[in-house]
Structure 1
Amino acid sequence: MTDTAQGVETEHDYSATLFLPQTDFPMRAGLPDREPIWLKRWADMDLYRLQREQAKDRPKFTLHDGPPYANGNIHIGHALNKTLKDLVSRSHQMLGYNSAYVPGWDCHGLPIEWKVEEQYRAKGKDKDDVNVIEFRAECRTFAQHWIDVQREEFKRLGVLGDWDNPYLTMSFDAEAQIARELMKVAASGQLYRGSKPVMWSVVERTALAEAEIEYADYESDTIWVKFPVHSGGGEITSKAFHDLNASVIIWTTTPWTIPANRAISYSPKISYGLYEVTKAPEGNWASVGEKYIIADKLAGEVFAKAKVEEFARIGDVDPAHITSCSHPLRGLAGGYEFEVPLLPGEHVTDDAGTGFVHTAPGHGIDDFEVWMANSRKIHERGIDTAIPYVVDDAGFYTKDAPGFEGARVIDDNGKKGDANQRVITALAERNAMVARGRVKHQYPHSWRSKKPVIYRNTPQWFVYMDRDIEGKAGDTLRHRALKAIDATKFYPQAGQNRLRSMIEDRPDWVLSRQRAWGVPIAVFVNRETGEILKDEAVNHRIGQAFEEEGADAWFKPGAAERFLGDGYKADEWEKIDDILDVWFESGTTHSWVLRNRQKWPDLTFPASMYLEGSDQHRGWFHSSLLESCATNGFAPYASVLTHGFTMDGEGRKMSKSLGNTVAPQEIIKQYGADILRLWVASADYSEDLRLGKEIIQTTVDAYRKLRNSLRWLLGNLAHYKAEETVPVFEMPELERLVLHRLSELDVLVREAYQAFDYKRVVFALSNFMNIELSAFYFDIRKDALYCDPISSVRRRASLTVLNHLYECLTAWLAPILPFTMEEVWLERFPGDDSSVHLRQFPKVPADWRNDALEAKWDRIKAVRRVVTGALEIERRNKVIGSSLEAAPKVYIADEGLFALIKGEDFAEIAITSSIEVDGGDGPADAFRLDEVAGVAVVPALAQGKRCARSWKILPEVGTDADYPDLTPRDAQAMRERAAAGLSV
């Protein structure tokens, strides 16, 4: 039957006598306009506080928010991240936890400082001409503006949290605690100042951490360079090397680092040979008679690049027997007369190049480590082990690069300077070149300026990774961090290995930045001894001042005297003005957010979970782990959840240049936040997620189906009366089957939410609502719900089940669709203090579970599929319009299945006016489905008159004297209505 009796030719209109759905819940969601209404309602009722009060005695679950930078509107990556966090927080609240969520912001550092500098440049101002306190104030104002903007954008996503009391790294109490954490690291002997090559941004004039680096295609100059052998031994004597004019050949993609060369690295595992050029073009850099030492595996490739036509291998060479080489720039400005030793290095391979690595200890980590590992032996040979400062902070060569001072590696715009060409020209003039070329490869860039960076040796502040902490043997920061990783649960599990490999291989942690906006490395260093001052009274004064005035106190006139007090002379102590790495700052949040019981009493330390994108294995997960291990000895989190990045619909990375970005604001404006949230919950966040117009439309369609099911529920529940509830044991099997499925789903949904598997929740509930409810249970029970008499147990049982469905579905979907479920809930239970988000997941009775019943109905459903398949063909051929016009005959070969179907009202199940069930195989031309063996259907038209109320076609219509146009069932319904004083 249909939902309306309109169009039926009858003398009496019975439509007013049907229990048709009644609801004001609109079919069209109108989410963009309606969602702000719920936001205002939650704010007016202070929903977050009500949750905290309601859950104050429950177990705590703390998802600690990784702070976004406050430097622009949110993008789709923010929306994905914050929505996932809200799914975690809301679902755990409804699972029975006190799931507090305190949002936070990263307010310091280069991202914000860079934006303020851009504003300066646009006005023709120079940052260096502005007082540092004034500049920091402008950074603070800039950050606060974007905090306010982002807060509203995050709230519009439906994210529920302590928005009135967020944490900010620039709040005075935060700056004080960040400084105190740094002082703890210093007091334990883990902080030191050293000179090492670090990633340096010429454009931004600061050191960068690995977490601030991204890799992009870059075209580099490549050169093959001769290092003349200075002396040797072994099979080929020192004299023989001179006589043979032998040179070690190196290959590099950074010609500008040749003036910084101090050694050549080789591998004892590689086979090397001495080669002679026997044929080459006239005027070629590699000329006939020259002898080169090259890895055997790479010799052919090197000579091809050098345009050598023929060459000969003379013999084996063991680089260990070569004492040193001459620098290829020897004789230039008198600055390169030193020996260049050959050093063994584990980083050397024969995969590319020459099998030798040009080693500039001031411009590479491997170079530095090889140099330092051999520094004692080098020194004993009378070679100066000092690492030169060849390039300054602006990318210019210094006086330590004789003959090149003033040339530039990279300019202020991130473009190549003239350094490479100047070096190549000088090498060619000294007959030191073998070949040159270009190569496109992945090269490090700053993730903010998007400009290439260089490795540069500078004095910086570091935290030891491998020094024993406070003298305890083996108790190093690396050891603590690796042990903590083993104790942490990861979602997905692969994240554990990723973070572990990063910790295993990482160098000492560089903390210092040469900037102005942030928390300073608030320590004093003795100018004579270089020792860090460790004085609790001084540290207390610093912390107290930061609490009251913020970190600006460090930069005010007289700060050194103020903090040192009377016990020290300020001129004997250096006040360090470098700024802390922002990753150290955000890594300390556990100490001043999770453990701040006055501000946030519902949080726990360690946090139950940290949740961020997969890039945070080298970012916030990483720095938080190291900082907490340095100060506490363990991780600040019990678990780590990682999500992928958002790609476009074709799987390409989103970028403005491709024009394929998707702004969350636009999705919300057109479709609503619940659509965006449903997309997030439906996707496999452990991988990169795709988002485009087709994917959004698919999500909209899925939402519409869910909404229509909920609307139908609401409409029918208008007729539900609690006092007419039917006990489970009195219910028909079909109702008990639905309750059985609720019992199964209760376990599934709880397990999925506990495992943060939201796609499993969406998939299971969508299938249940669309297939098992709308296309099966609702479809079958429409007749009973609309037409059965008031006294019908079947009708009342169905209403009881619909109420249970409503109770479960609104709760289970609330974390995913918070706006829609609030609307659905308040449609039935309006009230100033009512909210679906103050509920927990309902406790579904375990005794609803009935696996035997499900097995039985799986068999019934299989037979029903054959019937509906046959009727669909009849409908397509316009033999029937609705299934109520049919009275098919069903043949069932299996005796057990035949008996089962005969025992049911199969016409009701198949939604036909009548049906005949018989044993046997059935006629050869009967309709069959391959997947349902032994069942055949022969369609036939229903016989009799059409009921004017239920539209069933039956011979019994006309047998009731009072209601000759109705079936006996509908006639009884009319009599009961009349007795109850209802319209007839």
Structure 2
Amino acid sequence: MRWGLRPLGPGAATLAVARSLWVPPRLPCRLGWRGTTKRLLVRSVTGASNQLPSSNSGKYRDTVLLPQTSFPMKLLGRQQPETELEIQQKCGFSELYSWQRERKVKTEFCLHDGPPYANGDPHVGHALNKILKDIANRYHMMSGSKIHFVPGWDCHGLPIEIKVLSELGEKAQNLSAVQIREKAKTFAKAAIEKQKSAFIRWGIMADWSNCYYTFDGKYEAKQLRIFYQMYDKGLVYRSYKPVFWSPSSRTALAEAELEYNPEHVSRSIYVKFPLLKPSPKLASLIDSSSPVSILVWTTQPWTIPANQAVCYMPESKYSVVKCTSSGDLYILAADKVASVASALETTFETISTFSGVDLEDGTCSHPLIPDKVSPLLPANHVTMAKGTGLVHTAPAHGMEDYSVASQHNLPMDCLVDEDGIFTDVAGPELQNKAVLEEGTDVVIKMLQTAENLLKEEKLVHSYPYDWRTKKPVVIRASKQWFVNITDIKTTAKELLKKVKFIPGSALNAMVEMIDRRPYWCISRQRAWGVPIPVFHHKTKDEYLMNSQTIEHIIKLVEQHGSDIWWTLPPEQLLPKEVLSQVGGPDALEYVPGQDILDIWFDSGTSWSYVLPGTDQRADLYLEGKDQIGGWFQSSLLTSAAARKKAPFKTVVVHGFTLGEKGEKMSKSLGNVINPDVVINGGQDQSKEPPYGADVLRWWVGESNVFAEVTVGPSVLNAARDDINKLRNTLRFLLGNVADFNPETDSIPVKNMYVIDQYMLHLLQDLANKITESYKQYDFGKVVRLLRTFYTRELSNFYFSIIKDRLYCEKANDPKRRSCQTALAEILDVIVRSFAPILPHLAEEVFQHIPYFKEPKSVFRTGWISTSSIWKKPGLEEAVESACAMRDSFLGSIPGKNAAEYKVTIVIEPGLLFEIIEMLQAEETSSTSQLTELMMASESTLLAQEPREIAADVIELKGKFLINLEGGDIREESSYKVIVMPTTKEKCPRCWKYTAESSDTLCPRCAEVVGGT
């Protein structure tokens, strides 16, 4: 099939159309010399003509070998998504994963899929993550590895439960745990199906009928086994400790389930704690007749009723100061005297200064309960960043406070219930009041009444919120199950030393997060999750859990799923031998616990279920940066605890997706990008056109994913334009190998044109760099390398030079076959290079390669193949020195047709002359490789200047540094380019100014036409 071009009118030359069609917009010409070195930064083709030929050229139209292919230059509108769906069907996208699993290959590449959460529609963050994984998998598969990739979903947890309950409204209050679980599972399954169909549409390669789900009974059983292994080693324990508690969700939360609101407003207060008994040193510094108060600042007034101590920093300096306005005496950190006085809108006179250790053994009165004593205690967590340098300590409501209480045997009574409301233990004034609302107000009023409040002010600061309800949390002591991080930290950090992190900074971030983590609370007070398999005594503070009970429960869960914890009677949850020891079926002393496991423990144990072999280590974990404190960490901690091994060899961390201006995506801003709309278009397709999945994949591929990734209409339009330019390049390549069969028509490399050999030399370098970039998961570099190659080296340089040889020589002329040999290799390397990123386009191209009678899938035919004999560094000198001269020539005739000129190149005898002589053996030629490269009508190569030079010529001088064999051969040569108008006429067939008259063919064309 011909191109289907519309004739330009009577006698219009087909070659003119081809030229205008195949020469893309050119880059501006500017030589980029580094001193006298020869690297050209931009190759120029300015000077080529686009003028229409004379009318009599039409009769030679059929003698010109124009490109032939049915591969379309663009897919417009709905064509793109529709073509992709056809390609997926025709090229067996759905069978590819199972096909590659059956191959007999030596290496296996395992990418462990971090499970996305099954609670919503697929979004652009999913696209970024899943496409990155797919690019990695497809590259490794093409490189000869068997891919192990099992997609999964995180199915349990609070977010799903809350969504289900909020949809039910008031009806939710009457639901049993079993009913909640049933509805949550239905909800999760629906979300999974939506997400799965989107992932398939994006071209993600996997066996989609065999995924893993954290609500699967066999998965839950594996998880419980890991839990018990850790318990058996003493790494899991039950304790009464302060944890992040969400009153809005009525459950404990892990750090990874928090998000910090920087705009939170707290009512911060300065409070007096009257000094009761000064330390001996302090007693000597103050007048015992004057009352002294310890000055404390807190952002959480509601915790004051639970105060058990005041902490100081032993190494810091403290001062006794006198308030000039009231005459009161206060103790605070010496460094904070000025800032606190300013905050209190007064001035302080320093009476004396002493060391923090001198506060030891001192006590003060509780500011709300005068007869209660609060000791002064040393603590390293006290800082001078804010406040007074003295910290109010409520062990039930602070992690560091708890640590101090443990050391000094302080009471840890919690005055707040699961709803964040003061209990009756807090006293009648506070009972039944929400601590973050009315409770705070009442505490402040009580402090005013006791005359211990110095000041209240609003403070805007970062404060933890429940990641799902978006409401503030509190720290509250309760009986929970914990993982002893302290015992695992050292092992985990040691294991991380052998893990490769991309980018490297992610390793430091992960180590810092592990270091900061005091403990991991793994129990939750909800219904939708895996139960903690423990039985609590009905009357005593005792629990039952051992290898017998666990094995029995694991078998039940494996067969029937974790619902059995709520559906079976307690006596059936215990093995018979244990049941008889604890009261038997009729007088059972124990009841099943109601806590479930943290979903980070759920997903963090996925390695034990999904990873293959005895080693169970993935080659790659690849997730967003939020997983540094989430899945990466819980996977490492559970694996380190259970078997002292990291579950991953390499960890790749990508950024978040943002709007085009770097803003977060939100419905209120109207900047949410829906992947389905990107692929299929929106309701108004003039505003939201259908781009297809490959545009989405190109956006992912080209982005610097190690930082935040922006996406929006202009980014997607640019991606589509890039792909269209690539299609144009591919169309040229396909069209020009239409009559070529590599098996029979290829020219041996040593016999090829120098410029063609040079392109193979560049191609091998490109292939090596692209392969290395894929290995480093730097897909953005792959795209940059490809884009530079197909725009600069191909469209702007090589294609412009070779069109005459391709179109106007005889079909089987070795000169033409040399060019086609190079084009076929270029096509193969380029398609394989972008195939992991653009699988639909790669398969579409393979369907159009003319010498593939029964095209196989590009993914079933291996990675890029190049030959070591393509590598010829000396060719760079030949071509790039000629390019330097060519660019001098073209730069001297801006906007004019190079073919209307002839050039004489004068080079002093030496290495440069010998190199250029490779391109033109005879003195003068209109058909040499040098003439082709110069794009002139005729080239003359001389070792000395001609005796006579016409007056109207242009003379250009230059120097070129030859640098071969790593600098062993270095020679700088001068050259001169002499440009003059040609005296020949334009050939009506090839347009080159090489004919004797305008109505006769040039010698070359006469020979070609005469021989046909």
Fold match by TM threshold 0.5: yes
Query: What is aligned with 1:690?
Result: 710
Q: 1:889 to 1:422 in 2, by over 3 A?
A: farther
**Aligned residue identity for 2:250:** R
- Identify the match of residue 27 of structure 1 among 73, 98, 117: 73
Shift of residue 825 of structure 1? 0.7
- Identify the match of residue 416 of structure 2 among 391, 415, 420: 391
Shift of residue 582 of structure 1? 0.4
**Aligned residue identity for 2:82:** D
Is 1:357 the counterpart of 2:402? The answer is no
Shift of residue 891 of structure 1? 6.4
Q: 1:893 to 1:271 in 2, by over 3 A?
A: farther
Is 1:834 the counterpart of 2:869? The answer is no
Query: What is aligned with 2:86?
Result: 37
Shift of residue 693 of structure 1? 2.8
Is 1:293 the counterpart of 2:308? The answer is no
Query: What is aligned with 2:630?
Result: 619
Distance (Å, rounded) in 2 between the aligned partners of 1:452 and 1:627: 29
Distance (Å, rounded) in 2 between the aligned partners of 1:724 and 1:408: 89
- Any residues of structure 2 matched to 1:707-726 within 5 Å, and which? 707-721=727-741, 722-726=743-747
Kept in 2: contact 1:866–1:932 (CA 8 A): no
Kept in 1: contact 2:244–2:475 (CA 8 A): yes
- State the aligned residue count: 919
Shift of residue 429 of structure 1? 0.8
Query: What is aligned with 1:401?
Result: 426
Query: What is aligned with 1:470?
Result: none
Distance (Å, rounded) in 2 between the aligned partners of 1:346 and 1:11: 92
- Identify the match of residue 987 of structure 2 among 940, 947, 951: 947
- Identify the match of residue 678 of structure 2 among 667, 676, 679: 667
Distance (Å, rounded) in 2 between the aligned partners of 1:851 and 1:616: 46
Is 1:342 the counterpart of 2:376? The answer is yes
**Aligned residue identity for 2:988:** A
Distance (Å, rounded) in 1 between the aligned partners of 2:959 and 2:637: 58
Is 1:429 the counterpart of 2:467? The answer is no
Query: What is aligned with 2:267?
Result: 221
Shift of residue 975 of structure 1? 3.1
- Identify the match of residue 616 of structure 2 among 605, 608, 625: 605
Could you tell me which runs of 5 or more consecutive residues in structure 2 were left unpaired when the two chains were aligned: 1-14, 20-51, 681-689, 920-927, 962-973
- Any residues of structure 2 matched to 1:9-408 within 5 Å, and which? 9-10=55-56, 13-29=59-75, 30-42=79-91, 46-54=95-103, 56-121=104-169, 124-126=170-172, 128-217=173-262, 218-237=264-283, 240=286, 242-279=288-325, 288-309=326-347, 311-316=349-354, 318=356, 319-331=358-370, 337-375=371-409, 385-408=410-433
Alignment deviations for residues 523-548 of structure 1 (CA, whole Å, 9 cap, x no partner): 23556875654543322221121122
Shift of residue 226 of structure 1? 0.2
**Aligned residue identity for 1:145:** A
Shift of residue 576 of structure 1? 1.7
Kept in 2: contact 1:274–1:317 (CA 8 A): no
**Aligned residue identity for 1:291:** L
Distance (Å, rounded) in 2 between the aligned partners of 1:32 and 1:928: 53
Query: What is aligned with 1:844?
Result: 866
Kept in 2: contact 1:15–1:949 (CA 8 A): yes
Distance (Å, rounded) in 1 between the aligned partners of 2:560 and 2:730: 55
**Aligned residue identity for 1:862:** A
Distance (Å, rounded) in 2 between the aligned partners of 1:585 and 1:899: 71
Distance (Å, rounded) in 2 between the aligned partners of 1:542 and 1:835: 48
Q: 1:224 to 1:925 in 2, by over 3 A?
A: farther
Q: SS at 2:420's partner residue?
A: coil
Query: What is aligned with 1:438?
Result: 458
Alignment deviations for residues 474-507 of structure 1 (CA, whole Å, 9 cap, x no partner): xx32222112111211111111111112222312
Q: 1:931 to 1:758 in 2, by over 3 A?
A: farther
Query: What is aligned with 2:653?
Result: 642
Distance (Å, rounded) in 2 between the aligned partners of 1:42 and 1:148: 24
Q: 1:936 to 1:373 in 2, by over 3 A?
A: farther
Kept in 1: contact 2:995–2:1003 (CA 8 A): no
Query: What is aligned with 1:760?
Result: 781
Q: Percent identity?
A: 35
Q: SS at 2:424's partner residue?
A: coil
Alignment deviations for residues 911-935 of structure 1 (CA, whole Å, 9 cap, x no partner): 2222456667999995869998966
Distance (Å, rounded) in 1 between the aligned partners of 2:849 and 2:718: 29
**Aligned residue identity for 1:952:** K
Distance (Å, rounded) in 1 between the aligned partners of 2:319 and 2:953: 84
Q: SS at 1:521's partner residue?
A: coil
Alignment deviations for residues 856-904 of structure 1 (CA, whole Å, 9 cap, x no partner): 3222222222233333x2x2xxxx4x43334355666897545644653
Distance (Å, rounded) in 2 between the aligned partners of 1:257 and 1:33: 62
Query: What is aligned with 1:600?
Result: none
Distance (Å, rounded) in 1 between the aligned partners of 2:906 and 2:844: 47
**Aligned residue identity for 2:989:** R
- Identify the match of residue 885 of structure 2 among 863, 870, 875: 863
Q: 1:957 to 1:897 in 2, by over 3 A?
A: farther
- Identify the match of residue 583 of structure 1 among 593, 600, 617: 600
Alignment TM-score, normalising by the size of structure 1:
0.89
Is 1:910 the counterpart of 2:934? The answer is yes
Shift of residue 186 of structure 1? 1.9
**Aligned residue identity for 2:498:** A
Q: 1:785 to 1:369 in 2, by over 3 A?
A: same
Deviates more, 1:678-687 or 1:612-621: 678-687
Kept in 2: contact 1:229–1:241 (CA 8 A): no
Q: 1:259 to 1:775 in 2, by over 3 A?
A: same
Query: What is aligned with 2:9?
Result: none
Deviates more, 1:656-665 or 1:702-711: 656-665
Q: 1:932 to 1:113 in 2, by over 3 A?
A: farther
Could you tell me which runs of 5 or more consecutive residues in structure 1 were left unpaired when the two chains were aligned: 280-287, 332-336, 376-384, 411-415, 467-475, 598-602, 959-963, 978-984
**Aligned residue identity for 2:704:** D
Alignment TM-score, normalising by the size of structure 2:
0.86
**Aligned residue identity for 1:155:** I
Alignment deviations for residues 621-641 of structure 1 (CA, whole Å, 9 cap, x no partner): 000011111212211111111
Kept in 2: contact 1:61–1:604 (CA 8 A): no
**Aligned residue identity for 2:258:** I
Q: 1:783 to 1:106 in 2, by over 3 A?
A: same
Q: SS at 2:381's partner residue?
A: coil
Q: 1:239 to 1:16 in 2, by over 3 A?
A: closer
Shift of residue 314 of structure 1? 4.2
Kept in 2: contact 1:19–1:719 (CA 8 A): no
- Identify the match of residue 741 of structure 1 among 759, 762, 782: 762
Q: 1:207 to 1:935 in 2, by over 3 A?
A: farther
Distance (Å, rounded) in 2 between the aligned partners of 1:274 and 1:946: 102
**Aligned residue identity for 1:717:** V
Deviates more, 1:824-833 or 1:319-328: 824-833
Q: 1:220 to 1:950 in 2, by over 3 A?
A: same
Query: What is aligned with 1:284?
Result: none
**Aligned residue identity for 1:201:** S
Q: SS at 2:362's partner residue?
A: strand
Alignment deviations for residues 105-131 of structure 1 (CA, whole Å, 9 cap, x no partner): 00000121111011111xx312x4112
